[in-house]
Amino acid sequence: MPTFILSLVLALGSFATAALSTLQQIDVKTFEKMREVERYQIKIAEKHFLKGSFKIALAEYEKFLTLYEKSAGAPYAQLMWSHTMMKLKKPKTALREGFQSVIDYWPESLEATIASYCMGDAYRTMGEIKDAQESFRFLIKEYPGHELAMRARQDLLYYARLHEDMEERLTLLNELTFSVERTENSRDDCVKACHELAELHCFAQKLEQGKKALSTTYSGTKLFEQVYKLSVKTMKHLLGDQKTRTAALKLGDQLIMTLRNEASVRTELASQFLYQAADLNTTLGRHSDTMKIYREIGDRFGMNDSLRGTMAQWYKSRDRRNEARKIYSEFEDQLAGLKNLAGMSLEEKKVAAAISIYREMIKIDENNSVEYLLNIASCYESQPDWEKAIACYRQIIEIDKDNSVKYLLTIAGCYKTQSNWDKAIACYREIIEIDGENSGEYLWSIAGCHETQLDWKKAIACYRQIDRFPANYFAMANCHRKLKEQQEAITLYNQIKILEKSAPEASLQIGYTYEEAKDKEKAIRTFQLTCKRYPKSGQASRAHSHLQNKYKINVTLGGTEEE
């Protein structure tokens, strides 16, 4: 079977044939058979086609067909003439005089196969779906082994699903599953088809036919796994409709019996099959049978924490929480059991009980006391009991000094949540003693605390110590404005203006600051200058709007400054 090439060596252009689709590319064997003069003419036409000069390309393909009617490249030239007509929005001409001519004059050529598919594609473009389907069926009939026949089958399958045409859908799926040769190009589509066909049969309660479809792809244990998976899906599907619920229960019983048979044959996987049987009972709503199987697993293979955990979850799902607690208390891994018990206490909002359990875990596993103390602190925060939470974090710091900064930041956060700003500030200063390299970050937080306390002077003092220009200057200017110290704020904004990207905002804020100082004339002038100096900025738009709304002054963005 000829293959499509991705590119051609073109003597005339710097363009690449990668722009051509697989339906437009010439076969390499055809190209090799052509004389140099014929190749030259094809390249000329292709050059114009790729440039979008379709009328010129059309004339060049016609020229080729006139001059080299007997050439091996003639079918390709006719095919490309048809594609060019499609580009010129003349699909009927492309169909009648183009693609059909390729099929009529060169029925054995590769181009005839491509033309057959292109006809279907053209009809689809015109919205004539029935004709498109007929063309795709013709292609499959005449060229069943070609890769384009696979493409046509997928197109037909799409329309069969869309139009709910079950007869054609089953025909195509059967063909893909049982008849089409599975090559490298077709294998994936055939496998997908066998799954789709099997699901349709199973949903129609034809399980043996579903298994037959899957057996074209799988065998042995893999076939069993696929059939089981699909059967479970079918059972859930049938359960969704009251009319088919009885069938679902019957299928569930069959599956459980099958799993038990497999457990007796494949003894190494017996516990896995029994767990699957338990899950099926849960899906079927037979919860007591689920627990019976769990107990059977324990009797046959011995109890372990995994099984205990599964049983405890079952009790919790049935709101039998005391029995779940009993199961967790029997865990061989005592810590895992206690962790689950603490989780249950938190689910029930029994925070004190959870804290007691975590403290018990510390006694058993002192090496991981930090983890348990963090859980305790979280419990106290949830109440909230900030003093006890902070005490826990302090205790953690004594154990895990390497991460003391992280815990101190958490403590500071606790104080801020309580609006205890002085203690939060003290905590940040404690952090600075430990992590002086990042003092600017903590000083910023301290300044924020001072601002919340409306202690603007202390906030300014903190911002002044931080090397974060221009952000700290903006922050200090804002504090000065709160203190009615507008001139100091303007001085800072003017210093910020040395930075090009910050200048528009600084200029705008100077205008607002003059307003706060009741200096209307300078405020207006500053807003106007903002519009003129930074016309493309968002600040200029804001200044422009402010001048119009507050002062009824219209100003043009941009222009030249007159002073």
**CATH code of the domain containing 88:** 1.25.40.10
| Domain around 523 | 469-563
pLDDT of 558: 66
The Cα 48–Cα 60 span in angstroms is 9
Provide the 10 A C-beta neighbour count for residue 547. 20
Kindly state whether residue 389 falls inside one of the protein's structural domains. Answer: no
Kindly state whether residue 132 falls inside one of the protein's structural domains. Answer: no
**Bridge partners of residue 27, in order along the sequence:** 4
The Cα 211–Cα 230 span in angstroms is 9
> Which of 127, 160, 184 lies at the terminal end of a domain, its last residue?
127
Kindly state whether residue 310 falls inside one of the protein's structural domains. Answer: no
> Which of 93, 127, 161 lies at the terminal end of a domain, its last residue?
127
> Helices in 127-219 by DSSP H: which ranges?
129-142, 147-162, 166-174, 187-203, 207-214
> Which of 127, 158, 182 lies at the terminal end of a domain, its last residue?
127
Kindly state whether residue 4 falls inside one of the protein's structural domains. Answer: yes
Residue of 112, 50, 59 lying closest to 81 (CA atoms): 59
Residue 26 DSSP symbol: P
pLDDT of 9: 37
Kindly state whether residue 35 falls inside one of the protein's structural domains. Answer: yes
Kindly state whether residue 386 falls inside one of the protein's structural domains. Answer: no
* 84 touches 97 (CB < 8 A): no
Each residue's pLDDT tens digit in the chain (563 positions)?
344 333 333 333 334 444 788 898 888 999 999 999 999 999 999 999 999 999 999 999 999 999 998 999 999 999 999 999 999 999 999 998 999 999 999 998 999 999 999 999 899 989 999 999 999 999 899 888 888 999 999 999 999 999 999 999 999 999 999 999 999 889 999 999 999 999 999 888 888 899 999 999 999 989 999 999 999 999 999 999 999 999 999 999 999 999 999 999 999 999 999 999 999 999 999 999 999 999 999 999 999 999 999 999 999 999 999 999 999 999 999 999 999 999 999 999 999 999 999 999 999 999 999 999 999 999 999 999 999 999 999 999 999 999 999 999 999 999 999 999 999 999 999 999 999 999 999 999 999 999 999 999 999 999 999 999 999 999 999 999 999 999 999 999 999 999 999 999 999 999 999 999 999 999 999 999 999 999 999 999 999 999 999 999 988 776 444 43
Kindly state whether residue 293 falls inside one of the protein's structural domains. Answer: no
How many domains would you assign to the chain?
2
Residue 182 DSSP symbol: -
pLDDT of 3: 41
